[in-house]
Structure 1
Amino acid sequence: MLTAQFHVLADSGFSSIALLNGLSALGLTFSVGMKRSRQTVEGQALYEITSQQRRVRLQGLPDLDLWVYWIWLPANQKGERIQRFVITNRQRHPQTVRTFGRRRWKIEALFKTLKSRFALGKFAQKTKQGVCRFLCLSFACFLLCHLEYLNQDESGTEESVPDGGELAERLKWTLVGWVRLVEIELERAAILAVLDEQRRDAT
C-alpha cells in the first residue's frame, strides 16, 4: 500500500548509498538529485553523459538499475543557467522528472525561506504550542510573500527564483508601512516639543 502511494523526492544531500539501497529494498520509487561529478561503475561522471533516460549503474550501487536525467534551472541574477542531475529507479519521461523536480524545489524553497528569512532555525522550539504558533506565522508570511511575487509577475513566467528577503521587505512596507510613518510623526512631534521648550528656556 505504501509503495503505491509514495514517490520519494530528495536532493543531492540525501543521495547516499545506504539511503538508495534502503529505498530500493522497501520497493519505493524515487527521484533523487545527484552531484554532477557522481560516477558510474565505468568511471564516467554524470555531466559527461550526453543523452537522458540512459540506464546507468553508479559506483557503490552496482546492482541497482538507475536512469539519469537533468534539468535546467531558470537563469540566476547573473544570467547563468544551472544544470541539475536526477536519477530514478524507474524509467520515466523527462517531462515527468521535471514535474517532480519542480514540486520538490517549491517545497525546499518553502523550508529554506522559513529557516533563513523567518528565523525558524533560531527559534526556541521547546514546546509543541510554540512550534505550531511559529509554523503558522511562518506559513502566513510565506503565503503573503508568494502572493506579492505573483502580483509582481504579471506575465506568469518564472525567470528566476524569487528573493524571499526582498519580497518580505517590500511586503512589510506595503502592509504596515503606515505604522512606521505614524511612529516617525510622533517622534518628530516629540523632538519639536523638546526644541521649543529649550528655546523658551533660553529666552
Structure 2
Amino acid sequence: LELLGEVPDAIRKRFRIRVLADSGFEAAVFLDGVRTLGFEFVVGVRATRRTTHPGQVTVADCEHGAWLELQNWPHDTLTLARVERGERTFFSVASELMTGDEVAAEGGKRWNIESFFKEGKHQFSLQQFALRTARGLDRWVLLVFLAFTLTMLHRSPDLSLEEAAGLALTLALPFLRLNVIFARLATDEEFLRQHGYSLKIARCNS
C-alpha cells in the first residue's frame, strides 16, 4: 500500500488504475487501502474465502462471472472469475462489475508481468537485489529493463536469449567498470594533484 500511495497524481488523473495481485493480498486491510486510494483491483482469493450468502457459501461454490460480496469485506459487489489450470482451480475477484471472462483476462495479465520480471531476475542474476524499499524496487525495475534492452540490442536469429545476454554482458561490462573507475579518478583528481600526480585519459581507436 505504501508503494501504491506513491503513484504520482498526474498518472492518477490521466489513467484509471487497476491493481492486479495474487491471493497473498486478499486481506480486507489491503482491499480497503486500494479502494481508499481510488484504485480498482483484480485480486486472487482462496477457494475457502466465504461470501455473505447464507449458509457459509465460499467462492468455490459460486459460478464463473457471479456477482458476490466477501464476508469480511461487504463494501462492494465483486465479480468472480474461475480459471481452470489442470487439476487446480484459481479464483479472483474484481471491484468492477465485468464479465467473468474479462476478470480472468485481467488476472492473466498479472501472470505475464510476473513471468517477465521473474525471467529478468534469474536470467540477469538480479535475484539477490534488495527490494525492501521503494527506491530498491525502482532500481530493480530499472536494472531489469536495462538488462533486457542490452540483450535485445545484441539479439540475433542464431543466438538464444541466454547467449545474447552473455554477449551483452561481455561487451558492456568493461565499459561500465571503466566508467566507474573514471568517475572515481575524477572525484580524486584534486587529491592526486596535491601529491604531484597529473592524470590524463586518452582512448585509442583500433
Residues 112-123 of structure 1: matches in 2 within 5 Å?
112-123=118-129
2:45 partner amino acid: M
Structure 2 Cα separation of the partners of residues 68 and 127 of structure 1: 34
* Residues 139-188 of structure 1 deviation map (CA, whole Å, 9 limit, x = unaligned): 655x69xx98xx9xxxxxxxxxxxxxxx76xx439x87xxxxxxxxxxxx
Name the CA distance, whole Å, in 1 between partners of 2:73 and 2:136: 42
Residue type at the aligned position of 1:64: D
> Residues of 2 paired with 1:127 and 1:62: CA distance?
35
Question: Which structure's relative contact order is higher, taking Cα pairs within 8 Å and 6+ residues apart?
Answer: 1
- Unmatched 5+ stretches in structure 2: 1-10, 168-206
What is the aligned partner in structure 2 of residue 95 from structure 1? 101
**Matched residues in 1 for 2:97 and 2:136: separation?**
44
Retained in 2: the 8 A contact 1:53–1:91? no
CA 1:81 to 1:110, structure 2 compared with 1: closer, same or farther past 3 Å? farther
| TM-score using structure 2 length | 0.55
Tell me the distance in 2 between the aligned counterparts of 1:134 and 1:90. Answer: 32
Q: Does 1:25 align with 2:31?
A: no
TM-score normalized by the length of structure 1: 0.56
- Secondary structure at 1:65 match in 2: strand
CA shift for structure 1 position 63: 2.9
1:44 match: 57
- Give the one of 163, 172, 178 matched to 1:172: 163
Q: Indicate the percent of aligned positions where both proteins have the same amino acid.
A: 24
3-state secondary structure, aligned to 1:36: coil
1:108 aligns with 114
Q: Secondary structure at the match of 2:74?
A: coil
Work out whether 1:85 is the aligned partner of 2:88. Answer: no
Within 2, Cα distance between the matches of 1:66 and 1:81? 25
| Alpha-carbon offset, residue 20 of structure 1 | 0.6
Whether 1:53 and 2:59 are equivalent positions in the alignment is no
Q: Distance in 2 between matches of 1:139 and 1:102?
A: 24
Q: Which segments of 5 or more consecutive residues in structure 1 lack a partner in the other structure? A: 74-79, 152-166, 177-203
Is the contact between residue 68 and residue 77 of structure 2 (CA under 8 Å) also seen in structure 1? yes
**RMSD of aligned Cα (Å):** 3.9
Specify which structure has the higher proportion of helix. 1
- Displacement after TM superposition at 1:117 (Å): 4.3
Q: Which amino acid aligns with 2:28?
A: I
Count of matched residue pairs: 148
- Cα 1:134–1:29 shift into 2, 3 Å: closer
State the alpha-carbon separation in 1 of the partners of residues 150 and 48 from structure 2: 39
Taking the aligned partners of 1:92 and 1:39, their CA distance within structure 2 comes to 21
